[in-house]
Amino acid sequence: MKKAETEQKRFISLTVNGDDFEVEISACDRLIDVLRGKLGLTGTKEGCGIGECGACTVLMDGAPVNSCLVPAFQAEGSVIETVEGLDASGKLHPLQEAFVEHTAIQCGYCTPGMLMSALALLRENPRPTREEITRAISGNLCRCTGYHQIIAAIEDASAKMKTTE
């Protein structure tokens, strides 16, 4: 949009990957601008910027959202999880391991969003069917890897996460 001459700025606090942050935002900042621009969490990618590709998917209070569509002011007080939180312990998350094992990554641009959609699914439904996996990632477009490897990786992660619980 045409840059507003004066934009109201305000500090908001939010939790990202378990850490509390206070950041200054303006009215037209989006959640993705906060994550990438203010917090340096560039794992979350911006694809289309209009909510159609899912590359920017993060979890907001546990549910998947397009961070390009969430105004930053709406993120105040929320709990955000991004791809950087997956291997916070220094070890790849079982989903990430499965994506590597199944070659479910080619260019990798859709991967952070895919992982977050898959994480939301497995938390709610630890043993999903193929159909349920397909639906859960239906808001994430991949244009090179191919969905078969991605679905297989999520299935495999689900089986491994189940047995390690």
Partner 1 sequence: MTLGFIRPKTVGEAMEVLDEHKDSSKIVAGATDVTVQLRSAKPVEEKPLWLVDITRIPELSYVNLENGIVRIGAMTTHRDIARSAVIHDVAPFLADACLSVGSPQIRTRGTIGGNIVNASPAADSLPPLTALSARLRLVSRRGSRDVALCDFFKGAYKTIIEPDEILEEVYFKAPQPSSRCAFLKLGRRESLAIARLSVAVLLDMDESGKILEAAIAPGACLPMPARIARAEQALIGKIPDEESVDMTSLEVGEEMVRVSGVRWSTEYKKPVACALTKRAIWKALGVDVD
Interacting residues toward partner 1 by CB under 8 A: 1-2, 4-8, 10, 26-28, 30, 49-52, 54, 57, 60, 63-66, 68-71, 73-74, 76, 117, 120, 135-136, 138-141
User: Cα–Cα distances in Å, from 72 out to 1, 9, 14, 62, 75?
Assistant: 16, 11, 10, 17, 5
Cβ contacts of 133-142, under 8 Å, gap ≥ 24: 137/54, 139/54, 139/57, 139/64, 139/66, 140/53, 140/54, 140/55, 140/57, 140/110, 140/113, 140/114, 141/47, 141/52, 141/53, 141/54, 141/55, 141/110, 142/110, 142/114
Helix (H) or strand (E) holding 21: strand 19-26
Nearer to partner 1, 2 or 165 (CB): 2
Nearer to partner 1, 17 or 57 (CB): 57
Nearer to partner 1, 2 or 164 (CB): 2
Nearer to partner 1, 91 or 123 (CB): 123
Nearer to partner 1, 64 or 85 (CB): 64
Instruction: Give the residue among 61, 69, 64 at the shortest CA–CA distance from 135.
Output: 64
Q: What's the token pair of residue 5?
A: 């001459």
Question: Shortest Cβ distance from residue 146 to partner 1 (Å)?
Answer: 16
Question: Shortest Cβ distance from residue 152 to partner 1 (Å)?
Answer: 20
How far apart are the C-alpha atoms of 139 and 66, rounded to whole Å? 9
Question: Shortest Cβ distance from residue 164 to partner 1 (Å)?
Answer: 26
Question: Shortest Cβ distance from residue 80 to partner 1 (Å)?
Answer: 13
Question: Shortest Cβ distance from residue 89 to partner 1 (Å)?
Answer: 26
